[in-house]
Amino acid sequence: MKWVKRGLVFAPGADVPWAMRAAMTPCVAPAGDHARRVYFAGRDDRGRGQIGVFDMDVKRLEVFNLRPEPVLGLGQIGTFDDNGVNAPWVVESNGKVLMYYTGWTLGVTVPFYLHVGLAARDETTQRFARVSIAPILDRTSIDPFLTAAPCVRLDEGKWRMWYVSGAEWRERGGAVQHRYHIRYAQSRDGLTWERKGIVCIDFKSDDEYAIARPCVVKDVDRYRMWYCYRGDAYRIGYAESADGIEWVRRDDLAGITASEHGWDSQMVAYPCVFDCDGARYMLYNGDGYGRTGIGLAVQEP
């Protein structure tokens, strides 16, 4: 497969204070015939993430209806998401719109802690309210370090989640470095998740230390996953599966990499793949983990 880049569609700026430093980790939901609703995380002048939304005409590459305020802001001080929220994943079920997301809080022996939270949309205000002030994927003996960046699908009545799990923190070059990969969980209700430590996408080498932001699509013949992986800089990877649990990495088939110059010449990361009007598209981030904004690519037929 090959992706053709259509260009930058949304960039952060000082006119949106809560997203002045970055626009990252996009997630897509339907919003009309040729439109898609894009949820994303902005970063303010202190680097804290908050989740906002805009609409996009995919064919015309037009962005509109950017809400001036976040739809999910910082958590209450002392809770798991008081220093930022990002990596939204939106699911519609029984007339409700649910948002799974990553909550950030600062650490002492390690720089940060990450946990998965859940919020539900208020149909009057269109803002999201936390289902609980506690995470729905807390640290356990299965995931003792961190959980983050969930991709959630309702699949034949079963709730399925592919998420980032911390494998370890380690000291390298006088600093503490995180190391995380992608695991699998499932649920009967989308609230309580069964975790068995199943690793879907693992490290290829000791130099690879971050595998992040899974995006899973179920086609007629197989499950497909796009994600990003990092040694020196993030690149977008690809894997295939017959059942959504056992995966084969095929990064050589990802079909997209950093450009020779421009806004995504140093890294490509945080892919979100979706279908619209018979074509398959990808939203993704470029340099600086979203510092340069969100771009769009279309898959060649």
**pLDDT value at residue 32:** 65
How far is 86 from 74, CA to CA, in rounded Å?
10
**pLDDT value at residue 169:** 97
The one-digit pLDDT tens for each residue of the chain (301 residues) are 899 999 999 999 999 999 999 999 999 987 766 789 999 999 999 999 999 999 999 989 999 999 999 999 999 999 999 999 999 999 999 999 999 999 999 999 999 999 999 999 999 999 999 999 999 999 999 999 999 999 999 998 899 999 999 999 999 888 999 999 999 999 999 999 999 999 999 999 999 999 999 999 999 999 999 999 999 999 999 999 999 999 999 999 999 999 999 999 999 999 999 999 999 999 999 999 999 999 999 999 8
Which residue, 93, 89, 133, is CA-closest to 283?
89
Report which residue type is found at 196: K
* Cα dihedral across residues 20, 24, 27, 28: positive or negative: positive
**pLDDT value at residue 30:** 75
Contacts of 219 (CB under 8 A, 6+ apart): none
Evaluate whether residue 22 is within a structural domain. Answer: no
Evaluate whether residue 76 is within a structural domain. Answer: no
The total number of structural domains that make up the chain: 1
Contacts of 70 (CB under 8 A, 6+ apart): 18, 42, 50, 51, 52
**pLDDT value at residue 172:** 87
The helix or strand, by DSSP H or E, that contains position 288, with its residue range, turns out to be helix 287-290
Other Cβ atoms closer than 10 A to 233: 12
Q: What is the CATH number of the domain that holds 144?
A: 2.115.10.20
How far is 52 from 99, CA to CA, in rounded Å?
12
Strands (DSSP E) along 94-138, which ranges? 96-106, 112-121, 128-130
DSSP for 146-208? -EEEEEEEEETTEEEEEEEEEEEEEEETTEEEEEEEEEEEEESSSSSEEEEEEEEE--SSTT-
Other Cβ atoms closer than 10 A to 73: 17
Evaluate whether residue 51 is within a structural domain. Answer: no
CA distances from 287 to 67, 171, 198, 290 (A): 24, 26, 31, 6
For residue 163, the enclosing domain spans 93-288
How far is 92 from 29, CA to CA, in rounded Å?
9
Evaluate whether residue 273 is within a structural domain. Answer: yes
Evaluate whether residue 41 is within a structural domain. Answer: no
How far is 247 from 240, CA to CA, in rounded Å?
6
Evaluate whether residue 114 is within a structural domain. Answer: yes
CA distances from 181 to 27, 74, 168, 211, 255 (A): 20, 26, 10, 5, 21
Other Cβ atoms closer than 10 A to 103: 28
Read off the tokens for 142: 């299965």
Evaluate whether residue 69 is within a structural domain. Answer: no
pTM equals 0.97
Evaluate whether residue 149 is within a structural domain. Answer: yes
Angle at 130 between CA 184 and CA 227, to 5 degrees: 30
Contacts of 111 (CB under 8 A, 6+ apart): 176, 178
